[in-house]
Structure 1
Amino acid sequence: MIHNLARSVRAFTSNVFLVTGETTALVDAGSNFDVVSRIDQHADGVDRVYLTHTHPDHVENLQSIRAAFDVETWGFDPTNEYVDNAIGDGDRVPIGDDEYEALHTPGHKPDHLCLYAPASGVCFAGDLVFENGGFGRTDLEGGDRETIIESIDALSEAVETKLTALHVGHGPSIVEDPLADVELARQAARMG
């Protein structure tokens, strides 16, 4: 089961996905709201926290999550203070009842990852792509337009025709024809 714990939050935050199952995991930690009480509504704890990237809106709740659940974090850049364990491009990690492949997708931020489960077609896309062809900002430090175009292309190739759900860093999850939104993002990123 996948719950967006930030769904009704009005403060500036990323989405925070709690995935329950064999490995109960959070994808991103969010910011500016009491995420611990929301976790407690759905699970007895958290086994792992995965970070799509380390912009503040995705990590500021980590201190309270670590304190409440004594849990380690996983991300692309182990030199970052928020990352306890490294995930490399192509590594596989357990989330819920599925195994997800880590896809290094820089362009919004150099440490950006997408997490994709080939068996179920579910992808956590962070701030790479959004609903209706939106894509991550490239005007922040470490952002690069050409790189994000390459990353969106790589995501499109990785998910091929198997994508069933796209859980994004901001806005609603895409569960109806998510490939169309990825294709729109590919086109929009090239427009300038």
Structure 2
Amino acid sequence: MTVRARIDHLVTSGTFALDGGTWDVDNNVWIVGDDEEAVVIDAAHDAEAILTALGGRRLRAILCTHAHNDHIDAAPALSEATGAPILLHPDDLPLWKQTHPDRMPDGELSDGERVSIADVSLEVLHTPGHAPGAVCLYAEALGTVFTGDTLFAGGPGATGRSFSDFPTIIDSLRERVLMLPGETVVRTGHGDGTTVGAEAPHLGEWVARGH
């Protein structure tokens, strides 16, 4: 059966700030939908660029894989421009408030919830470790999982800063992500993608490295 929904991708640039440090970063922004409607995964840095990429489609929701500032800084402006609700796992509210103290998300992303868009659904997988409320979004019909900063090509996301924990991210990857079908394409928050099958064999190496 042909799936109508597609994945569009753009890269936006800005600053990541946490624990008193700042770093220049390029972020992946993912748009999932068809010609009529879409959702945005991680509204990073540039609301205008994301609006342009939407091309007039109705934005149904802004989904946040986690609440580090570089993944959510453009979310309020994008929401204001489109009327779309911002959805975030509640465990990341302390991080959210560091960036947007006067504007709370509009709703929650709960483990096991399915977000429907066009003719596909995105299953919310709560994957704490990089952040307490980090989630991955699994689109089985599209053969892909959007991992935010939980999994990259080459290993797990960073756990050396506040609100993060290495054993927790390893448990999340082992139990929630690396058991997906090996051909599942991993679309990350930064940099190049990979597949579950390419990363799963290296879990033991990551544990041995301890980071």
In the superposition, the TM-score normalised over structure 2's length comes to 0.77
Match of 1:3 among 8, 27, 31: 8
Q: How far apart, CA to CA, are the structure 1 residues paired with 2:42 and 2:201?
A: 24
CA pair 92-46 structure 1, distance change in 2 beyond 3 A: same
1:169 equivalent in structure 2: 189
Report % sequence identity: 30
Per-residue CA shift, 1:107-166, capped at 9, x if unaligned? Answer: 1000000000223321000101111x2221111111111101101102112x134x4321
Deviation at 1:82, TM superposition (A): 4.6
1:28 equivalent in structure 2: 42
What letter corresponds to residue 191 of structure 1 in structure 2? Answer: R
Q: How far apart, CA to CA, are the structure 2 residues paired with 1:19 and 1:124?
A: 11
1:117 aligns with 2:139: yes
| Segments of 4+ moved more than 3 angstroms | 78-82
Deviation at 1:38, TM superposition (A): 3.9
In the superposition, the TM-score normalised over structure 1's length comes to 0.84
CA pair 96-126 structure 1, distance change in 2 beyond 3 A: farther
Unaligned runs of 5+ in 2: 1-5, 15-23, 97-102
Unaligned runs of 5+ in 1: none
CA pair 83-187 structure 1, distance change in 2 beyond 3 A: farther
1:184 aligns with 2:202: yes
Deviation at 1:50, TM superposition (A): 0.3
- Between the two proteins, the alignment pairs up a number of residues equal to 184
CA pair 18-120 structure 1, distance change in 2 beyond 3 A: closer
1:62 aligns with 2:75: yes
**Cα RMSD, aligned residues only:** 2.3
**Bigger share in strand:** 2
